[in-house]
Each structure stands twice: as structure tokens, then as C-alpha cells.
Chain A
Amino acid sequence: MGILEVKDVNKRFGGLQALGDVNLSVRENTVHAIIGPNGAGKSTLLNCLVGKLIPDTGSVMFDGQSVLGRKPYEINQMGISRVFQTPEIFADLSVFENMMIPLFAKRDGSFRLHAFEGVGSERGLTQEAEAMLDEVNMLEKRDFHAGALSRGDKRRLEMAMCLIQRPRLLLLDEPTAGMARADTNNTIDLLKTIKAKRDITMCIIEHDMHVVFSLADRITVLAQGTPLVEDTPENIKGHPKVKEAYLGEAA
């Protein structure tokens, strides 16, 4: 049993079968990549995992509990965090405040009327936020306005915001999309150190083969809404079906 079990998921948009009988099992403490050409249904699948879309049929179980029908904030409270394709952060707030919000969410749940405490007077949470910023090398930017950060820093901030909640599953939607080679390598290194330091399961949707093969323990190849094959990176590389559907097309 994996920590995330997707069974027979179907999703239709009008006449388009976006997902057809998707089965997926993500094992705990692994990095699982989902790859596939444009329009393969990767993003639709991800949206079904986080509550943005509800599949027409099938089930999505996280740690033995169904996520279907739950709101995104409830799914997050179950232990699933998400990194977006373009970094989604609180651009009008400071970097420090960006870190405090997920901490409060983790401690107090989806709503609490804590109107008369100071944000910074929470010693324990402040230290936790600063330690996490230190881990992603952003401590010196603690009081910066988050909207003024570079794109790479925004990405690191978003990951830090997700990780500080100690999620059991981290979903990454093309974390290196639109990045230069050097930035991509930095992100790979960052993800590797993150993985090495803690027990976390990652599920990455990615276009860039270089990223996928440097990080993934297992790979699922999706084509036209259906999983073609699921295997280790070594086996995927030589798989004829994959070459045909994906790598062949790229070449």
C-alpha cells in the first residue's frame, strides 16, 4: 500500500476524456515523478489530488482516507502540500510573514480568531520560521517584501512555506518550468537536500527529463490520460513504449 492510492480515476471535460482509468500508487518516502507529453493529463491528475477538481469516477486515498469531496484547505490539513508551476506566495507580505502563515495554519487549523496576540511574540514559531529560512539560505532576506524577490527566491520561499508544515506528501507542479539551466540545477540540489534531511514523499510533475532522472525513484508515464507504464528511471529510459509516446516525439 502506498501513501497515495489513485484507483480507476476518470475525468471528462465535455467530449474530452482528460483522464481514463488512471491507477497510481505512490510509496511512502519515495520521489515519484509523473511525466508525459503536453495534454497527457498530468495537471488534471494533480488537480484531482488537491481538491481543485473532482473525478467523475474512481477513488483517491491518502493514508487510508479519501480526499474526494474535500476542500483544498482540508486536504492540506491532512498533510498534502503543493508547489505551483509559477510560485504562489503572499507577494504583499514580508518573507517572514509568508513563513508564519503556514505555521499558524499548522498549529491552529483552518481558522482561528487570534486578534490580540502579536505575530512576532510567538517565540517558538518565530524560531521555527527562521530555522527553515536558514535551511533554504534566505534568512538574510527575512524582512524583505516577498513580491520583490527574484523568481528563484520566490520558488525557494514557496518550498519553504510548504515544508515548514511538515507535509507527508509534497506535490510539485513543474518546479523548474521556465528556469535557466543553473537555476534548474539549484532546484534539483535543493530538493535533494530537502529529501535527505526528512521523511517526506514527493510527487513531481515535470517536463524536464534531466530533473526527472536526477530525482525520481519511480516514474509513471502518462499519455492521453492513461498511464502507459510505471517503473524505475533505469527501466523507463529504455522502454520502447515510452520512447514512442514521449521521447520519440521530442526527438
Chain B
Amino acid sequence: MVFPSATTATPVVRSRVARRSDEIWSIKRFVTPAVVLLVLVALFVALSSMTLDSIESRTLNTDYIIARVREHLGLTVVASALVAVLAIPTGIVLSRTRSRVLKAIVLGIANVGQATPAVGVIILLAILWQTGYLTALVGLVIYSFLPVLRNTMIGLQQVDENVRESAFGMGMTQNQVLLRIELPLAVPVILAGLRTSLVFCVGVATIATFINAGGLGDMIVNGLKLQRYPVLVTGAVLVACIALLIDWVAATAEDVLRPRGT
């Protein structure tokens, strides 16, 4: 009962899979961190050559900067983690439900969250509720909820109907199809949404300063108000570098976590 015929036309595919780690860690991969490093060194050199007045040296010192970066990253990472924990399950539930009304309502709310200017959301929350870290966090979550929600839904939706049908046809239950087939295949799309959210958060977290929640926004706003441009530029450059680095980490995670074979 052996059919020797079939292997004759076997294409010799030197698999993508075998070369995966080479592709993920190619030279191109290290361009972003290298550029960021260069920019930071240039900034440091420029600042060291300047004589700072008392206002400037109060902010342009290691302790102050590290504290602001820590606040900024804390807000960003915690907000994104909350978005992941909340938006992915919501996306799964919405993609399971047949109720168009429910879908429209949730997507509508998420849309409003993103369409409203972030400053507006955060300041409105501060007026209605309180100022500080927690309010900034909630504002960020509201603002960056939509990309993850939408990408989760799209990611599940774009799974080939034939793949889904054969999974059911082989006797998988609804949950097994979700966990073993749909979610793994949706991972790249969901991660892309999360990446967008993270970068959103880095930018929007600069607004936290307005409601007394710290972050690098402090430096930017102080620099502007007191007309100390070295402070302003340092804050802005640091935010940009963080955004680039976070985007880089997320892109790398996307490639590493992409299911093999796709």
C-alpha cells in the first residue's frame, strides 16, 4: 500500500523556517537602536558643552531625567498592558457575537475614545474625577483601546474560512478552534494593534503633565514656559527615542512570535 510516485516532484524548498532566526536578527534589525544611540550621544555631547543656568541644571541632571523617563515608561507600559488585557478579550467576545447592535455600540465607544483629542479626554477626566497618575492611566487606556480591539476582531476574522471549516469538520469544539487555530493565526495582527497602541501611548503620555501625573511632558512644558530650550529639546528628543525603541521592541516581538509556517 505504498505509493512511491508522489515524492518525485518534491520541490527542494530550503525552508523559510530554518532561516527564521537569521531573518529576524539581520543587520537591518539593528539600524533603529544604533540611530537612537547616536542621537542620545549627540544630545549628551551638546549638553555637556553648554553652561547651564540654575533653572536648567535643576532639570538637566541624571536623577531628574531618570525619574521622568521612569514615570513616562511606567504610564506607557501599564496602560498598554491594561489595553491588552481588556481589548483582546473584548475583541474575541465581539467577534463571537452575532449581535450587530452590540458590535456597533462597543466599536462606536472605542471610536469616540480615539477620535476625541487626547488632551480633551485627559483634562475632562481630571475635571470630572481627580488629577494624578490614575486619571492619566485611564485616559491613555481609553485613547489606545481601539487599535487593539479592532485588530483582534480583524485578526480573528481574516482566518481562512476553509481552515475554520476543516477544524470544525475534524471535531474541534468552539473553544478548541479559537485557542488552537484562530488565536494563533491572529497573533501577528493582534500584535500589530498592540504596537500601534504602545506608540500612541508614548506620545500621548506627554500630556499627563497637565494633570500632574509626571512624565517627560514635564520637561517639554517647563522648557517651553521658561524658555529654556535645552530642557525642551532634551524632553522632546527623549520622547522620540523612547517611541522609536518601543516600536522596535514591538516589531521584533511581532516577528519572533509570528506563528511558524505563515
Pair from one complex:
no
Which A residues fall within an 8 A CB radius of B?
none
